[in-house]
Structure 1
């Protein structure tokens, strides 16, 4: 795949005849096998004098060297943060086997980076203290927009606790993010900051900007009237052992109208389990059937949870409606899109249609193994932060 630079909508980010506005981010996708990845990214980002460059999709073995070289080329005033992915979203929509870079100009962004270590050990009290200290030291300017981005290692399987801790430590802060692993086979992730790898960590960023921001959330499922109670589970490993006091996979197949032997990732994506929280239903995506007939999920579950079978709706139409509801057209949307959504689109032959929409609304990001927003860890959902010109005046 060749280099894909985001087409600038107008020189310098200013529409002819319009008042000057803070510059927006810049996006570039380069083939992961290219020999001059760092040089291409640095050449594209250097004019921004970036405060931050996010990297998505580089294979884990190459991420540290790329981060180190970009740090040398762009200077120590630019933070380089990256993670592996199951697929990328670049200037032309969905892409694969690329490094997608998103640069945030220092003229309109200020950035802080915090590493939350040892996810698997769930040191929630340690995270809480670290986050509060980090937020206090960052000292957000209340006259500007501020939001958080979290990039957890999906293999640690602790995003539910992580997101709740973030929400409690910095209440009221809008936070979006995505769980990372390498490729569609769920290979180990790489969490990188300035060339240093942090295994099993979650990376948390604070971004302060002159631009207006708005959280974006879209799930293309509606609840049916078919429900089940989790009567036995292994919460640590995210496995449902029993539904309605029956073997979980067997009972799920009955509810979905499928033969147990027909349970495949395609059917899991078509018939997700939904957990209601407040007024919303959130997807608890199924990753696999365990050898003992349980259901391996991509997010947390506990005995007593009441789950509802979901029904898929039109993914492209619903996404366009959500994006058109934004107050103003975005300069960019930093997006985190579940890999199961992308696989469902591939099977339906609708990747070109969705890629056209992602490009139209200037989405840049990656495909995830779980999405984070508003203190929640969810699946089969698109979450993002839209960056828009500030309101006039």
Structure 2
């Protein structure tokens, strides 16, 4: 049985751990009242075929629009999970929705995206007294999220945007987004939402800058690859900085020792995904020659999580639910430290539902190892973002 603390009243949450795409989709859809639902967000685990899930949901949900993506993990009312199909049903009583698909993302045309986004936003009629926000789900292997989110932030400057990059449980093989009952690779889905629910956006990580400046002296920005750091082979220099052998570099090492950049007086994580045989490091966000970075020093992750999710409105009320986009590398570090159960308890108590990402988008920036979210409050509470 789901923990009663994690039951929001303003959306419906459906979870299926059934084996097989059709069975899992029907099982989850059966938990949703289609006639009352405006749209559904679906976060699909890596062991299910996205195309089959999308087709099965299209049938089982009787034409209710379905959006979402593949996920590197799910945040359900039980906290962290890996093999659960998660559906979030947003009711007509509180939400209106319009969507646009950007395909292909690579090669990316900023002009085409800007024009389409502006045109779409203007044709989405405004409901008096309701609030607007945007959700973006992008293929995590497209390597285009940085330009995409900065473009959207520029042309939709009065619309707060939040998002996550589709993942696949660290296989880095098959990521996709869902849009209107179909599955797309090398694409992104932008949802324009209106709601009568006040909301507040946030984003936080658990790293502080430390040590001496690190300079990227050789990189391929298009592929997010770094070949040299401080004039030395990248993997060798990074291993020296974190105090391990090149042979010992692993996702766990990368998760606990990310590099940070400073932008507008804030530090953002640029996570490393892997090290190649050529001593190059592959990153999950934008990287370039001449970039000055610093090694991140991790803080106590439970404490920073509790503090970051301690969200209230002006009347002291907690959110009805939080839609969360949480980097898979955070989850990896948490599991490595055997803190999964404790973190799940915090997420559950805070009413967080969402998925583990390959990157997060907030304030016009694509970042890593961050928890980005939107806290939705009950009706008649003030919106802050």
The answer to whether TM tops 0.5 is: yes
* In 2: Cα distance, 1:374 partner to 1:61 partner: 32
* In 1: Cα distance, 2:273 partner to 2:324 partner: 22
Report which stretch shifted further, 383-392 or 354-363: 383-392
Counterpart of 1:104 (choices 72, 90, 105) is 90
Per-residue CA deviation, residues 140-164 of structure 1 (Å, 9 max, x unaligned), is 3362121111110011111110111
What is the aligned partner in structure 2 of residue 114 from structure 1?
100
Counterpart of 1:310 (choices 296, 300, 314) is 296
What is the aligned partner in structure 1 of residue 29 from structure 2?
42
* In 2: Cα distance, 1:136 partner to 1:364 partner: 30
Asked whether the equivalents of residues 176 and 187 of structure 2 are also in contact (C-alpha less than 8 Å), the reply is no
* In 1: Cα distance, 2:310 partner to 2:48 partner: 39
Q: CA RMSD in A?
A: 2.0
Counterpart of 1:189 (choices 175, 182, 192) is 175
Report which stretch shifted further, 179-188 or 108-117: 179-188
| Displacement of 1:369 | 0.7
What is the aligned partner in structure 1 of residue 241 from structure 2?
255
* In 1: Cα distance, 2:300 partner to 2:101 partner: 38
Asked whether the equivalents of residues 5 and 27 of structure 1 are also in contact (C-alpha less than 8 Å), the reply is no
* In 2: Cα distance, 1:135 partner to 1:230 partner: 38
C-alpha distance 278-183 of structure 1, shift in aligned 2 (>3 A): same
Per-residue CA deviation, residues 5-55 of structure 1 (Å, 9 max, x unaligned), is 574878xx7xxxxxxxxx511212211515633333233211671101111
C-alpha distance 64-266 of structure 1, shift in aligned 2 (>3 A): closer
C-alpha distance 333-392 of structure 1, shift in aligned 2 (>3 A): closer
| Displacement of 1:138 | 0.9
| Displacement of 1:194 | 2.7
| Displacement of 1:241 | 1.3
Counterpart of 2:358 (choices 369, 375, 381) is 369
Which secondary structure state, in structure 1, belongs to the residue aligned with residue 228 of structure 2?
Answer: strand
Per-residue CA deviation, residues 284-324 of structure 1 (Å, 9 max, x unaligned), is 00111122112111111011110001111111111111211
What is the aligned partner in structure 2 of residue 89 from structure 1?
75
Asked whether the equivalents of residues 74 and 356 of structure 2 are also in contact (C-alpha less than 8 Å), the reply is yes
Q: Is 1:63 the equivalent of 2:75? A: no
Counterpart of 1:281 (choices 267, 273, 276) is 267
Which secondary structure state, in structure 2, belongs to the residue aligned with residue 354 of structure 1?
Answer: helix
Can you give the 5+ residue segments of structure 1 that lack an aligned partner in the other structure?
Answer: 14-22
Asked whether the equivalents of residues 272 and 285 of structure 1 are also in contact (C-alpha less than 8 Å), the reply is yes
Per-residue CA deviation, residues 193-237 of structure 1 (Å, 9 max, x unaligned), is 232222211011111111111112120001103221111111011
* In 2: Cα distance, 1:323 partner to 1:234 partner: 36
Q: Is 1:344 the equivalent of 2:333? A: yes
Can you give the 5+ residue segments of structure 2 that lack an aligned partner in the other structure?
Answer: none
Counterpart of 2:133 (choices 134, 139, 147) is 147
C-alpha distance 131-236 of structure 1, shift in aligned 2 (>3 A): same
Report which stretch shifted further, 104-113 or 30-39: 30-39
* In 1: Cα distance, 2:269 partner to 2:381 partner: 38
* In 1: Cα distance, 2:186 partner to 2:18 partner: 23
**TM-score, normalised to structure 2's length?**
0.92
Report which stretch shifted further, 302-311 or 178-187: 178-187
Asked whether the equivalents of residues 274 and 284 of structure 1 are also in contact (C-alpha less than 8 Å), the reply is yes
**TM-score, normalised to structure 1's length?**
0.91
Matched pairs, number = 378
Counterpart of 2:13 (choices 20, 27, 32) is 27
Asked whether the equivalents of residues 321 and 351 of structure 2 are also in contact (C-alpha less than 8 Å), the reply is yes
Which secondary structure state, in structure 2, belongs to the residue aligned with residue 121 of structure 1?
Answer: coil
* In 2: Cα distance, 1:27 partner to 1:375 partner: 29
What is the aligned partner in structure 2 of residue 265 from structure 1?
251
* In 2: Cα distance, 1:51 partner to 1:374 partner: 27
Counterpart of 2:109 (choices 123, 142, 153) is 123
* In 1: Cα distance, 2:275 partner to 2:269 partner: 17
Report which stretch shifted further, 55-64 or 84-93: 55-64
